Chains A and B, each alone.
Chain A
Amino acid sequence: AQKITQTQPGMFVQEKEAVTLDCTYDTSDPSYGLFWYKQPSSGEMIFLIYQGSYDQQNATEGRYSLNFQKARKSANLVISASQLGDSAMYFCAMREGDDYKLSFGAGTTVTVRA
C-alpha cells in the first residue's frame, strides 16, 4: 500500500501568491515524522521542513509552513509569497516508528509564473 500520496502531479502559481501542496499518509504507528523536500531542475534534494507526530504546533520555516491534520492524516505544505526560484518538484516523505527508512511520495511539480 502506498504510504505517501501526493495527488497533484503539477501546479501553476502566480508569483507572490501562496500555494498549498497536498500530502496524505498512511501509518498505524502513533510515532512518525513527516518531511518535505524540494528538488529544483538542477537535481539536488533540499530539505525544507519537518513535523513530528507528537508535535503540538504546526511546523514553520520561513516561507514554508506545514498544515498538519493528524486525524485526516494529511501534512500539506504551504509556500507563502511564491518566488520564481520556488519552481521545482516537491516531495513529501515519512519515517515511521523506530524505522530509519524514509518513504517518499511521487512528488508535485510547481511552476511559478511571473
Chain B
Amino acid sequence: NAGVTQTPKFRVLKTGQSMTLLCAQDMNHEYMYWYRQDPGMGLRLIHYSVGEGTTAKGEVPDGYNVSRLKKQNFLLGLESAAPSQTSVYFCASSFSLNTEAFFGQGTRLTVV
C-alpha cells in the first residue's frame, strides 16, 4: 500500500526560484494537509483541503499556494523561494475527524 507519497524527497533551491511539491494519496481521503516542520516548533499547518477543488489557509500560509484539482493530489507551490522557507515539508491525509492523519515521508527543502 502506497498511502501518502510526496515528491521530491530532497530539493535545493536558490532564493527567488519557484517549485511545486506533489502529494498523492491512494486511500480516497477527502481531507489533505501541508505542514512544515522546523526545529523546536513541531509541525505547523500551511494549507489544507476538505475536498476536491477546495483549499483553505492554515497557520503559516504566506509565501505558499496550493491546489487540489483531483481528489488524490494536493500540490504545494512556492512562487519565489526565501531562505525562511528552508524546512521539512509533510503532506498528510485523513478520512474523518476521529481518525488519524496519514503522513508522507517528508520533503527536505533547502533555500540558499
Chain A interface extent, by class: 20 to 34
| B88 proximity list for chain A (CB < 8 A) | 43
Kindly count the residue-residue contacts between A and B in the assembled complex, taking CB atoms under 8 Å apart: 53
* Partner of A33 from B42, B97, B102, B106 at Cβ < 8 Å: B97
CB distance from A80 to the nearest CB of B (A): 21
Q: Are A106 and B33 in contact (CB under 8 A)?
A: no
Q: Are A50 and B48 in contact (CB under 8 A)?
A: no
Task: Verify if B41 is at the interface (C-beta below 8 Å from A).
Answer: yes
Q: Mark A94-114, 1 if CB is under 8 A from B, else 0.
A: 010010111111110000000
Residues of chain B touching chain A, judged by Cβ–Cβ distance below 8 Å, are 31, 33, 35, 40-45, 48, 50, 58, 88, 90, 92, 94, 97-103, 105-106
Can you report 14 A-B residue pairs in the complex whose CB atoms are below 8 A from each other? A9-B40, A33-B97, A37-B103, A44-B103, A44-B105, A47-B102, A50-B98, A93-B43, A98-B97, A100-B50, A100-B97, A101-B58, A102-B33, A102-B94
